[in-house]
Structure 1
C-alpha cells in the first residue's frame, strides 16, 4: 500500500490505498517510516510524498484509529524522521489532506497542492490531541490564531486559503502537479548534497 519509486537522486513515496481515500493503517505507517529511514541512508537529494487517486490521505484508518492507532507513537516518529532528512522533502498533495496525515506534510520542506484539495484536522470533534509536533509546525507556517482555527475551530481550508495562510507553498491544477514538483526539485537534484544540507540547516530556526 506504499509504493516506492527510486531514481538516482529522487525517491517518491506514494500512499496507494485510493479505494479507502489513502487512509493510513499501522502497516502503512511502519512501511513509510522504514522507507524514510532508507532514504536517509541512500543519500538521495529529493524525497517526494504523494498519494494515489484524488485524495492525499484521509488520516488514520477509522477502525485502527479506534483500536489505538490515532495516538500511536509511530506518527511522531515518522514526522521527526522526515524533518531530520538532509535532502529536500516535498509533499505533493494530489488532493485533500486530513487528520493525522498532516504530520508528514507539515514535516516536509515544501508543500504543493492541487486546486481542489481541502485541509482539515478534526481532533477537537473526535476527542484526540494532535500529534505533539504538529501544532508547533502549524504555528510556524500559519501563526497561532490560524492554527487554532484549524485545530480547535475545525475549519476546513480550501487550497486558496491554505496558500494565503502559508500552509502550502504552491497551488496548481491537478494535471500540473508533477511538473510543479519537477521544477521545485530540479536544483536540489542537480546540486551538491552538502550544500543542500547546509541550506536546510541555515533555514532552520
Structure 2
C-alpha cells in the first residue's frame, strides 16, 4: 500500500489505499520511515497519494490501539527533514491528522484545488507530534497555527496558499508532473551542490 518508484535520483513515494482515504496502518508508516531513511542518495523525493485524498492520517482502528501516539510519525518527519535532496509533498487531495507531519517536513508543498488541510488533535484529545507545531508556526505564524490545532479549522487550498502553508495550486491530474518540474534543477545538480544550498537555507 506504499509504493516507491525510482527514476534516476527522483524517488516517488505513493500512498495507495484510496478505499480508506489513504489512512495509514502501522505497517504503512513503517514502510514510509524505511524509505525516507534510505533516501540519502535521492536528488529529489516526492510524496503523493492515489484517489481524492492524500491521507486522512492514522487508520481509525489503529489509532484506537495507539498509532496516533506512535513515535513512528516523528521518525518519519525527522527522516524527511534530514534529507539533502529536495522533498516535495504533491497533495492529490486533503491532508489530515498525523499525515500533516510528513507534509510539513517537506521542502515544498503543492496541491490540487480541492485540498483541505486540518489536524483535529483538540477534538480527538491527542497532542500533535512534537515537531509539527513548530514547523506549522514557521510557515503560517502562531495565530494561524492555533486556528488549525486548537480551533480545528479546515483550511481550503486557496487560503492555505495565501498563508504560505502550500506553495502552489495545480490542476487535478498535474500534481505529479508539476512536482517533477520543480525537481528538475535539483535532478541536474550534483548531490553536494544541492546539499550545500539546502544547508545555507537551514
Q: Which residue, 81, 91, 94 being the options, matches 2:92?
A: 94
Map residues 62-73 of structure 1 onto 2, 5 A cutoff. Answer: 62-73=60-71
CA-CA distance at 1:122 after TM superposition? 0.3
Alignment match, 1:170 = 168
Unaligned ranges ≥5, structure 1 = none
- Deviation string 1:31-64 (CA, Å, 9 cap, x unpaired) is 0111111112xx1200000001110000100100
CA-CA distance at 1:19 after TM superposition? 0.5
- Deviation string 1:62-109 (CA, Å, 9 cap, x unpaired) is 100010000010000110000000110000000000000001010000
Alignment match, 1:6 = 6
Cα distance between partner residues in 2 of 1:79 and 1:165: 21
1:21 aligns with 2:21: yes
1:33 aligns with 2:33: yes
Q: Tell me the secondary structure at the aligned position of residue 174 of structure 1.
A: coil
Runs of 4+ that moved beyond 2 A? none
Cα distance between partner residues in 2 of 1:13 and 1:179: 14
Map residues 1-205 of structure 1 onto 2, 5 A cutoff. Answer: 1-40=1-40, 43-204=41-202
Q: Tell me the secondary structure at the aligned position of residue 50 of structure 1.
A: strand
Equivalences, count = 202
Q: Tell me the secondary structure at the aligned position of residue 97 of structure 1.
A: strand
- Deviation string 1:163-193 (CA, Å, 9 cap, x unpaired) is 0011101111112212211210110001111
* Backbone CA RMSD of aligned residues: 0.7
- Deviation string 1:129-186 (CA, Å, 9 cap, x unpaired) is 0000000000000000000000001110100011001110111111221221121011
Range with greater deviation from structure 2 (175-184 or 27-36): 175-184
Unaligned ranges ≥5, structure 2 = none
Cα distance between partner residues in 2 of 1:15 and 1:69: 17
User: Which protein is richer in helix relative to its size?
Assistant: 1
Q: Tell me the secondary structure at the aligned position of residue 196 of structure 1.
A: helix
